[in-house]
Amino acid sequence: MCGIVAYKGHRQAEEIIIKGLQRLEYRGYDSAGIALLTPELSIYKKKGKVAELQAHIADQNTQSTIGIGHTRWATHGEPNDVNAHPHYSQTKDLAIIHNGIIENYASVKKELVAHGHEFTSETDTEVLIHFIEYIQQSNNVDLVEAVRLALKRVVGAYAIAIISKNDPDLMIAARKGSPLVIGLGKNEFFLASDATPIVEYTNEVVYLNDNEIAVIRGNELHIKNTDDVVSTPEITLLDLELEAIEKGGYDHFMLKEINEQPRSINDCLRGRLNASEGQLTLGGISDYLSKLRQADRIIIAACGTSWHAGLVAEYIFEEFCRIPVEVEYASEFRYRNPVIHEGDILIAISQSGETADTLAAMELAKSRGATVLGVCNVVGSSIARISDAGVYTHAGPEIGVASTKAFTAQLSVLSMIALKVAQQKGTISETRFREMLAHLEQIPAKVEEALKSEEQIRGISELYQDAKNFLYLGRGYNFPVALEGALKLKEISYIHAEGYPAAEMKHGPIALIDEEMPVCFIATRDGSYDKVVSNIQEVKARKGKVIAIVSEGDVLIPKMVDHVIEVPNTHEAFMPLVATIPLQLLSYHIAVMRGCNVDQPRNLAKSVTVE
């Protein structure tokens, strides 16, 4: 949520910032703005899309080589022009952009009002820049020191960038709990919330750590923390290609990313899994395999789609490793004073590696002595840095808000971890271990086959695009798939949908079923197949419309349902990797037919970096 782009160098800042903000549109936002030193400190901002900001500044003087830009996802104050970022200080000598939430802004604002400050917006961000200027003036210190002192006083999360009319060669940035990356060019610097706006210009970046302040003056970058301790910037090379963040001929990023899954899963497995040799290598957690093997309990903490991946992993770990697993919403875990022991392992799952609640759950677990492992997609992300160890999914950038390839990549990684632990622990025979590796190695090809059902799914979508409600049902490994299918539909098409264990249907949801209620069964062949068949018959007896995801070659279910989508056979533990594909396509096509903004659904952000 929210996006930061800033530039200081020798090029025209406005062009770079606008293009960067467009690259960050996938994060979700409701307004956009830019501040430039022209040499006056000029701020332009508009409610709506970046395109509206572009139109707004089309006839303005934007000649500047230093500037800051922002896309805002409203927290304090409604979405409008006034609350949009950037914000001026009291004298209008300073401008700031800010991601995050300043929790004690109200008390700080009260203090500033008592000293004569007047505010134009409802935001906590305007309070912060006023506070910085107040400290600078009242303590007679330079701007860098004023920023440091202010950040020591405020409570909350932030990623900020500041420019000054009175010091046009200076840009200051800082972060705590909200991501910020600095790109290093030749006599130029780029700031952004993630690497997507930067990759076009440089592959050398510095990831700011919590409580660090970056001071860019002239052609130099200096970093210190809020305790005034100086550190040497650690330069990281980006593993990201510009083509990966373009649509590549697809109508939407979501469709592109659905179709990328054979490759993204293969990239996840490549170099780690060799079925013919019976080898599975996970270098990122190799030093922690003994702790995993001896774990009293595994706790999986995640949010949204990543939580669903964790639910599938619970089944896999418990079946193959015989270790008890608890899957927790990170947002609830952190607030309920959970019981955590030193022998516990917490696995944190996040596509972005910046999910605020998941990060907080990790910090809590570490403070209680648990070992914390991370599964994430973004190299250099906060989760990657604070984990004791972890595994990257290597799914490539995911721009669509609705997570698709990240989900299957997370499942692939979690499956490999479980199998490796089972092998180390001796809870799986060598023969079965090799069989499971062979099944997993074939998943990319089976996902490729599942994607061929798109035209059939498009036809089904036409029939149900106007549905008011949907029900998704599955059992065993396919229950989390039902939850994920319902989430995908509701978040991009705005149709109310619920996922349930099929066995729970008679404990409530069956009351909803009539001839207007589409019911999607994940009914592939597994140990619960006969029970699911009975559930289907119960729905049909009440005139429900049934869409069934079935294993290839099934001859029983097609006789009793309205629509059948076949997927290739695989081991039931890996069926979620295949069965989720038609559900992704179904939600996508229904949303497109309803005229929804598939890549940027309303009210949603790609990365939830604040509570």
CA atoms within 13 A on the CB side of 144: 19
> 85-94: string of b/e by CB count within 10 Å (b at 16+)?
bbbbbbeebb
The CATH architecture that domain 3-243 belongs to is 4-Layer Sandwich (3.60)
318: pLDDT strictly greater than 80: yes
pLDDT for res 116: 95
Mean of pLDDT values over 426-452 = 97
Confidence of residue 509 (pLDDT cuts 50, 70, 90): confident
Query: Class assignment of domain 247-441?
Result: alpha beta
Mean of pLDDT values over 522-528 = 90
Among the listed residues 2, 268, 321, 376, the single catalytic one is 2
71-116 tens-digit pLDDT: 987 777 788 999 999 999 999 999 999 998 899 999 999 999 999 9
pLDDT for res 242: 65
Could you confirm whether 2 is annotated as catalytic?
Answer: yes
SS (H, E, C) 15-51: HHHHHHHHHCHHHCCCEEEEEEECCCEEEEEEECCHH
107-142 tens-digit pLDDT: 999 999 999 999 999 999 999 999 999 999 999 999
Confidence of residue 494 (pLDDT cuts 50, 70, 90): very high
Dihedral angle of Cα 406, 411, 417, 420, to the nearest 10 degrees: -130
Among the listed residues 165, 256, 405, 606, the single catalytic one is 606
Which CATH superfamily includes the segment(s) 452-611? Glucose-6-phosphate isomerase like protein; domain 1 (3.40.50.10490)
Report the greatest alpha carbon distance in the chain: 81
pLDDT for res 330: 92
- Residue at 537: amino acid letter: Q
Query: Dihedral of CA 540/499/269/434: which sign?
Result: negative
Mean pLDDT, rounded, of the chain: 92
Confirm if 189 and 182 have CB atoms less than 8 A apart: yes
Confidence of residue 334 (pLDDT cuts 50, 70, 90): confident
> 232-258: string of b/e by CB count within 10 Å (b at 16+)?
ebeeeebebeeebbeeeeeebbbbbbb
41: pLDDT strictly greater than 90: yes
538: pLDDT strictly greater than 90: no
Confidence of residue 282 (pLDDT cuts 50, 70, 90): very high
221-276 tens-digit pLDDT: 999 999 999 999 889 888 766 666 677 788 999 999 999 999 999 999 999 999 99
437-442, long-range: CB within 8 Å, 24+ apart, which pairs?
437/273, 437/274, 437/275, 437/278, 437/280, 438/275, 439/570, 439/571, 439/573, 439/574, 440/269, 440/273, 440/275, 440/412, 440/415, 440/416, 440/574, 441/269, 441/273, 441/275, 442/570
Confidence of residue 379 (pLDDT cuts 50, 70, 90): confident
pLDDT for res 179: 86
Say if 247-441 and 452-611 have the same CATH topology.
Answer: yes
Confidence of residue 506 (pLDDT cuts 50, 70, 90): confident
All structural domains of the chain with their residue ranges: 3-243, 247-441, 452-611
526: pLDDT strictly greater than 60: yes
pTM equals 0.81
Confidence of residue 513 (pLDDT cuts 50, 70, 90): confident
162: pLDDT strictly greater than 60: yes
Is pLDDT larger for residue 441 or for residue 72?
441
Confidence of residue 301 (pLDDT cuts 50, 70, 90): very high
pLDDT for res 425: 95
pLDDT more than 90, % of the chain: 75
pLDDT for res 336: 84
Mean of pLDDT values over 201-211 = 92
Residues 385 and 233: their CA atoms lie apart, in Å, by 15
Confidence of residue 609 (pLDDT cuts 50, 70, 90): low
Within its chain, how far is the Cα of 323 from the centroid?
28
